[in-house]
Structure 1
């Protein structure tokens, strides 16, 4: 098992290097081509955006802690911010007609749709996620999905 830990300031410029690094580690550990890991990278990026933007309110003095435990069969990620937290059940559903045109509010849905397990702590400032290698193998790679049609 491989353990990875980051403690970063709340800076959106760090999203790409961190998600690229984590995704690369998954690709290597699971012998996966990059196209198989795009959805995982997107979910990790969204979890980090939420921690930086909504949790820490883009305050660079507040930290985001990321851990990744990668085994042959699964990857476990934790993203924790220093914000006050929130109740995930209070988030308006993004598919509700009143929310369809809002510019945000889809991140939690995206994360839940990609990851096999998600759990917030009681305070709501730490998200734990699990992705199993077997479920990633069953997914259609994102670059092979059919184009969106109306």
Structure 2
């Protein structure tokens, strides 16, 4: 699960809702996007370090979904993505469903970067990354929650 921490952040966020996905995605994952081909993709190791990432944040529109973390954007569907560059300095609330690092090892001040699976992973050194998240608070959002600030 992921959401804007402040409702006004939605007004400044640049988003695209007409791009198709060739892979199954979850809310909170990071992707790259190509407006010419109208498609998103999981980042490669090189692309994950560059600017131009976006976070997936779809409205749950499938009534058969039992919990928010069961929701998937299937192949050929349209993920709603928000560019990290447009959200620099803004906050997200997210749970650990799309974080590959164990929740109990995360702490305030830790940095999260995107892996090649689109999920977030703790990194001790973010000097080579153009966009990343920084944990500012551990919360109970979705069970194991994090409040993060976007650096872009």
The structure with the larger Rg is 1
Q: TM-score, normalised by structure 1?
A: 0.29
Larger helix fraction of residues: 1
Larger strand fraction of residues: 2
Q: TM-score, normalised by structure 2?
A: 0.29
